[in-house]
With several copies, the nearest count.
Chain A
Amino acid sequence: MNLRPEPLAYELSAPGRCGAALPEPDVPETALPEGLLRDDLPLPEIDELTAVRHFTRLSQKNYSIDTEFYPLGSCTMKYNPKANEAAASLPGWRTTHPLAGAEFSQGALELMYRLQAMLVEIGGFKAASLQPAAGAHGELAGVLMIRKWHRDRGDLKRVKMLIPDSAHGTNPATCSMVGFETVTIPSDADGGVDLAALAAALDDTVAGIMITNPSTLGLFERNIEKIAKLVHDAGGLVYGDGANLNAITGIFRPGDAGIDVMHFNLHKTFSTPHGGGGPGSGMVAAGERLADYLPGPIAVKKDGRFDMAMPKAGIGRLKAFHGNFGVLVRAYTYIRMLGAPGLRRLAETAVLNANYLKAKVEKVYPLKYGRGCMHEFVAMGNFVEGVHTLDIAKRLIDYGFHPPTIYFPLIVPEALMIEPTETETRETLDAFADALLKIAEEARTEPELLHSAPHVTPVGRLDEVAAARCPILCYRG
């Protein structure tokens, strides 16, 4: 961790400097259009070394997968093989234009076509679209598909979407974007969907349910088939939030259990580094009912040639061009390196690692739901009066670990949501468990250590309330 304060690029600026040389025009010049030009372009003026040093030093102020264990629950922070990066950054991709035309893009189209087929097979679906740029975008696709399906059948009154109370925030937010009303379904004592509540909520105004399986509690929804049947019987459709696919690749296919449409977070399960926020891919796959409703275009094959085509009853286009292509290359590379046995080994190891960590800490960190977890588990950090999950999280930083996801899911008080992923060694899990246990000890003996944590970072806890009250969102000179 680089502890020195790093000025802003603007603060490193000096008049007349520039970090890149550009050629002089090699053509006769044309007069610029008076009246339309700007007077000033207030950007920094820095040289190439200053730029390199500035951003390199900034990078040194991050924890990352490549440097630290990063067990963020629900985020599947796995190691992303460097082969993915090599594959995605080949000059042949970087210099390919999305509108070059099918004749001139056969390599890109073939990759997309094959990836669609593999994802359909892995999820147990019928067809897929690689359009959506992230999980939430895939949710938007899926919910629009469900909406259109009902409307195409003349069923205009289905405006409600059922959402379990453990769901990720994107689920209800997506529903609002398409004008659906959300109905929250409580969890039962076991952390699953409360079937009675579900049954009670189902009527002919319900468009469907959005279900995450394994759930954000890290639990497999044992009643998944029953739930799908209940919803289907009530005329609704089932949306699968596939963000947690990492627990079940090669072991369980959501489509087999009656999910009608699901997004895959390719950037999680299929390994694109998260880039400090993105990009991702939330491609959607659909079963029998919704296959024709996918967003498009999707890759197709005709007479041995690849092309793009819009699905018959599709909801249309969700972004310009063909999805986050670079992420697709990574997913393709990754899946090809694993094959079916590798996918199974992946999920098995992810689940084994989570259960192992859980077993090591659950005597000290209480769980709300005790049963065997899948790829992640949710513990609670409120076992010592006056010490909070936040304090534990910050103290983990001192031990060289990125904190888990905290205070989510909302239904577990003081939640610590821990997802180790399959790419971590047993030794790393041991070290992390040791740190958690040590911190629990410190919580009792030296709580101040936790309250004042972290101690090894360039800044301490920042005043987020003040920052939001009077926001400073850009450099003001």
Chain B
Amino acid sequence: MPFIPNTDSDRSRMLAVIGKPSVESLFGDIPEKLRYPELDLPPALSEMEILREIEALAAKNLSSSTCAWFLGAGAYNHFIPSLVPAIASRGEFLSAYTPYQPEVSQGTLQAIFEYQSMAGSLFGVEAMNASHYDGATALAEAVLMAARNAPGRETVVLPAALHPEYKEVIRTYLEPLDVKIREYAGTPAAAAASLDPSAACLVAAYPDFEGRVHDLSGVADAVHAAGALLVVHADPILLGLFKSPGELGADIVTAEGQALGNAMNYGGPFLGMMGAASKYVRKMPGRIAGQASDAEGRRGFVLTLSAREQHIRREKALSNICSNQGLVMLQACIYLATLGKNGLRKVAELCWHKAHYAAAEIAKLPGFSVTKDIFFKEFLVKTPVPAQSIYDKLSRRCVVPGLPLSRYWPDRTHELLVCVTEMNTKEQIDLLAASLKEASK
């Protein structure tokens, strides 16, 4: 076995040192009748055989690299510079553990610190953590954090137009606790204005699930006036162009960071991003790296504020999170440093221009109408025939037109959420428009 190196002769020599007659005898503590079950598993394959099989499976999925791709809804087809996977896959990053021993983990630790710094710049907050499992769990933990911050307050207020799967996750996380969920349909500003004293927090989606970019100015003041916290869940690419949540007064920020240099990968691993105004840092869950010095005054980095975490505080920890999404965070870190100030803005601008061009083209089609709200890269289209039938027809021809909302709301049969990124060429957009037209005949 190439990755179980010790041979039978090694075994004998080792058993002699241990003073045991056989390997089996090392398992004497296991109840005999339960020992060595027959496992019904497929026979072992060599590397070339399994890779052949997996390649065949991987080929059986619709691929954004061979289609005109307009499906987003929480997983985005953005450009990934080739250097990102090339560097992140280096063994020293890939096969290191959580950096518990800082002297031999400065690579990982400095990368976390840089990620925190850059993500903090993007979101306009000083304190970011080193990741959550994904955007949905980050938001769920943010809501828990807000609820914990205000023990008396029993409701959290979510936008109706929050990603439906995120809502499900929040429901799962909150179910055992004495916290109720309320949804608001209008703008965050309107919701903030009518917050009642039971509210622990208001969550704003930036943009919301239907692509709308709400003006958040004034929202924080209203939320704070009501004694609650403002949680903003943002698209990090949008923040290349739009005001940051921190600048708008958000107390806690979360995001799905997949778009920052990570592939769609059938939905995972993704990157839960979370940050907070510095006054809340000791209430924020998750790992955090901080700057430190050694005895000679050399700068280094460590995991810090660990008194918030499970391995130190056990049942008093702020969260049970232990393993996080380290490598995905590293990819985001490399992405942010590589694109930087100029590149990220450019990506955001491309999304803006292309999405608006697409919307304008689709709006010209008979029977189609396009949202009038401000949007960034994703927008809602009303379709003259059921959106799911359009989806099926077009996807079979490798034009993936967006998300039919009926997937989540069976009665919203004629709505399609279209996403356009810097990866979509004008040619593809024109093809989309032409295909939509044809499919609606």
Could you tell me the distance between the alpha carbons of A170 and B322 in the complex, rounded to whole angstroms? Answer: 7
Question: Residue-by-residue, is A326-359 near B (CB-CB < 8 Å gives 1, otherwise 0)?
Answer: 1101001101111111111110110111011011
Please name the residue on chain A nearest to B104 by beta carbon.
A63
**Chain A residues, CB < 8 A from B288:** 471, 473
Complex contact A83–B50 (CB within 8 A): yes
Q: Is the interface of A mostly helix, strand, loop or mixed?
A: loop
Residues of chain B within 8 A of A250, CB atoms compared: 36-37, 39
Out of B69, B108, B337, name the residue touching A46 (CB < 8 Å): B337
Q: Chain B nearest CB: distance from A242 CB in Å?
A: 14
- In the assembled complex, the Cα of A438 lies from the Cα of B336 at a distance in Å of 36
Asked whether B36 lies within 8 Å of A344 as measured between CB atoms, the reply is yes
Asked if A105 is at the interface (CB within 8 A of a chain B CB), the reply is yes
CB of A453 to closest CB in B, whole Å:
9
Chain A: minimal CB distance from B122 (Å): 7
At the interface, yes or no: B5 with Cβ under 8 Å from chain A? yes
Question: Given the known A-B contacts A25-B350, A220-B30, are A136 and B320 also in contact in the complex, defined by CB atoms under 8 Å?
Answer: yes
A209 to chain B, nearest CB (A): 15
Query: CB-defined interface of B96-129 with A at 8 Å, one 1/0 digit per residue?
Result: 1111111111111011111011101110001110
**Do the beta carbons of B270 and A320 come within 8 Å of each other?**
yes
Complex Cα spacing A391 to B308, Å: 25
Given known contacts A173-B310, A276-B330, A459-B294, A473 and B165 CB-to-CB distance under 8 angstroms = no
Contact of B281 among A37, A349, A351, A473 (CB under 8 A): A473
Number of interface residues of A (CB under 8 A): 208
> Does B299 touch A at the CB level, under 8 Å?
yes
Q: Are B50 and A99 in contact (CB under 8 A)?
A: no
Taking each of A42, A82, A424, which has the highest tally of chain B beta carbons within 10 Å of its own beta carbon?
Answer: A82
Cβ of A454 < 8 Å from any Cβ of B? Answer: yes
Take A66-B91, A276-B330 as given contacts and tell me if A10 and B4 are in contact as well, using a CB distance cutoff of 8 Å: no
Those 9 A-B pairs whose CB atoms lie nearest each other, nearest first: A277-B326, A321-B267, A98-B267, A92-B58, A66-B91, A275-B327, A339-B44, A107-B60, A47-B5
Q: How far is B39's CA from A338's CA once the two chains are assembled, in angstroms?
A: 12
For A161, the closest partner residue in chain B by CB is B315
Q: Shortest CB–CB separation between residue A413 and chain B, in angstroms?
A: 17
Residues of the B chain whose Cβ atoms lie less than 8 Å from the Cβ of A110:
57, 60
Contact of A345 with B330 in the complex, beta carbons under 8 Å: no
Interface membership of B389, Cβ < 8 A: no
Determine whether the beta carbon of A335 is less than 8 Å from that of B47: no
B54 touches A87 (CB 8 A): yes
- Chain A CB count within 10 A is highest, among B50, B116, B298, B391, for B50
Asked if A276 contacts B108 (CB within 8 A), the reply is: yes
Query: A179 to chain B: which residues have CB within 8 Å?
Result: 176-177
Q: A62-B106, A63-B104 are in contact. Are A325 and B266 (CB under 8 A)?
A: yes
A15 at the interface (CB under 8 A from B): yes
Whole-angstrom distance between the Cβ of A35 and the nearest chain B Cβ: 7
Q: Jot down 15 A-B pairs with beta carbons below 8 A, ordered by A.
A: A19-B338, A30-B356, A63-B105, A80-B95, A87-B51, A100-B395, A169-B312, A172-B317, A252-B34, A257-B34, A320-B134, A352-B26, A356-B18, A459-B294, A473-B126
A209 to B299, alpha carbons, bound, how many Å?
Answer: 45
Interface residue from A106, A277, A346 paired with B61 (Cβ < 8 Å): A106
Q: Assess the B60–A352 pair: CB atoms within 8 A.
A: no
Given the interface pairs A220-B30, A426-B13, A473-B126, the reply to whether A278 lies near B324 with Cβ below 8 Å is yes
Assembled-state Cα–Cα distance A6/B31 (Å): 45
CA distance A403 to B81 in the complex (A): 31
* A473 partner, pick from B38, B116, B326, beta carbons under 8 A: B116
Among B406-433, those with CB < 8 Å from A are 407, 422, 425-426, 429
Query: Are B45 and A336 touching (Cβ within 8 A)?
Result: yes
The answer to whether B39 and A170 have CB atoms under 8 Å apart is no
Distance from B298 Cβ to chain A, minimum over Cβ atoms (Å): 5
Partner of B127, one of A136, A280, A474: A474
* Nearest-neighbor residue (CB-CB) of B317 within chain A: A173
Query: B385 contacts the other chain (Cβ, under 8 Å)?
Result: no
Give the most central of A6, A248, A356: most B CB within 10 Å: A356
Cβ of A43 and Cβ of B121 under 8 Å apart?
A: yes
| Bound CA span A37–B240, Å | 9
Query: Is B133 an interface position by the 8 A CB rule?
Result: yes
Report yes or no: B134 in contact with A134, Cβ–Cβ below 8 A: no
Q: Mark each residue of chain A from 38 to 74: 1 if its CB lies under 8 Å from any CB of chain B, else 0.
A: 1001111111111110111011111111111010100
Which of chain B's residues have a CB closer than 8 A to the CB of A344? 36
Determine whether the beta carbon of B268 is less than 8 Å from that of A326.
yes
Residue from the list B64, B90, B322, B422 in contact with A97, Cβ < 8 A: B64
Tell me if B136 is interfacial: C-beta within 8 Å of chain A: yes
Residues of A within 8 A of B185 (CB): none
Are B23 and A315 touching (Cβ within 8 A)? no
- B68 contacts partner chain A, Cβ-Cβ < 8 Å: no
Cross-chain contact A67 with B91 (CB below 8 angstroms) = yes
Q: Please choose the segment from A118-126, A194-202, A381-389, A441-449 that sits at the chain B interface, where 4 or more of its residues have CB less than 8 A away.
A: A118-126
Could you tell me if A62 and B87 are in contact, using CB atoms closer than 8 angstroms? no
* B438 located at the interface, meaning its Cβ lies under 8 Å from any Cβ of chain A in the complex: no
Q: Is B5 a contact of A468 with CB atoms below 8 Å?
A: no
Q: Is residue B239 contacting chain A, with contact meaning CB distance below 8 A? A: yes
Say whether, besides A22-B422, A38-B241, A179-B177, A277 and B298 are in contact (CB < 8 Å).
no
Q: Is residue B213 within 8 Å, beta carbon to beta carbon, of the partner chain? A: yes
Within 8 A of A (CB), among B382-414: 391-392, 395, 400, 403, 407
Determine which of A85, A93, A97, A475 lies in contact with B89 in the assembled complex, contact meaning CB atoms within 8 Å. Answer: A85
> Is residue B184 contacting chain A, with contact meaning CB distance below 8 A?
no
Q: Are B30 and A95 in contact (CB under 8 A)?
A: no
Over the window 405-449 of chain A, the binary record of Cβ atoms lying under 8 Å from chain B Cβ atoms (1 yes, 0 no) is: 100100000000000001111100000000000000000000000
- When A47-B2, A251-B27, A276-B96 are in contact, do A467 and B290 touch as well, CB less than 8 Å? yes
Q: Are A348 and B310 in contact (CB under 8 A)?
A: no
CB distance from A301 to the nearest CB of B (A): 14
Interface check B229, CB cutoff 8 A: no
Flag the segment in B190-198, B220-228, B341-349, B362-370 that touches A. B341-349
Please tell me if the beta carbons of B175 and A144 are within 8 angstroms of each other in the complex: yes
Give the residue of A21, A316, A329, A402 whose beta carbon is less than 8 angstroms from that of B175. A316
Contact (Cβ within 8 A) A97 B266: yes
Give A81 to B315 CA distance when docked, in angstroms: 36
Q: Using Cβ atoms and an 8 Å threshold, which residues of chain B touch A30?
A: 352-353, 356-357, 360
Does A269 belong to the interface (CB within 8 Å)?
Answer: no
Evaluate contact between B81 and A394: CB separation under 8 angstroms: no
User: In residues 120-138 of chain A, which contact B (Cβ within 8 Å)?
Assistant: 121-122, 124, 133-137
Shortest C-beta distance, A154 to chain B (Å), equals 16
Tell me if B155 counts as interface (CB < 8 A to partner A).
Answer: no
Nearest A residue to B301 by beta-carbon distance? A462
In the bound assembly, the distance between CA atoms of A353 and B295 in angstroms comes to: 37
Residue of B nearest to A306 (CB): B60
Inter-subunit contact A466/B39 (CB<8 Å)? no
Interface string of B290-326 (1 = CB under 8 A from A): 1111111011111011110111111111011111111
Is A79 among interface residues, defined by CB-CB distance under 8 A? yes
Give the CA-CA distance A176 to B176 in the complex, in Å: 10
